[in-house]
Amino acid sequence: MEKESKLFSFAKVYRDLTEVLMDHKLAALGDAYINFAYSLALSKNKGQPSGAKVRGSVLAEAFKKAGLREYMPSRVSRHMLADAAEALTVYAWLHSYLTLEESVAMLEKTKNPVEGFTKLLLTVKDRVKF
């Protein structure tokens, strides 16, 4: 059975991966998490505070490279793939499968954001079980 979040009572328990990927409210929270983690990684690399917004095309490409496309309906936009990446990442954080520090570390070690987010999504895919 899926472990419930101890910190966040609003964090739902899902039956399968597709439910997580299709949750638009989770994706909205995931958008903030992704941008925050990426901004922290950039700040560490630059040695000064830096804020950034991750482009949807970067997340969509990483989502496909991580082999997660098969869990989505057949006809989806690049925007929907990016939303799914955001939803899954924040889901993993909410349920303690991933820490913010781990996310930042993975993103700061790669020069190419697609590679960093692919590694992050592969880690999440490996850890989250239904």
pLDDT digit string (tens) for 63-116?
999 999 999 999 999 999 999 999 999 999 999 999 999 999 999 999 899 999
Nearest to 59 by CA among 44, 45, 49, 69: 69
Query: What gap in Å lies between CA 5 and CA 75, rounded to an integer?
Result: 32
Q: What is the pTM of this model?
A: 0.92
Considering the domain delimited by 18-127, tell me its CATH architecture.
Orthogonal Bundle (1.10)
In order, the DSSP letters of 51-117 are -----HHHHHHHHHHTT-GGGS-SS--HHHHHHHHHHHHHHHHHTTSS-HHHHHHHHHT-SSHHHHH
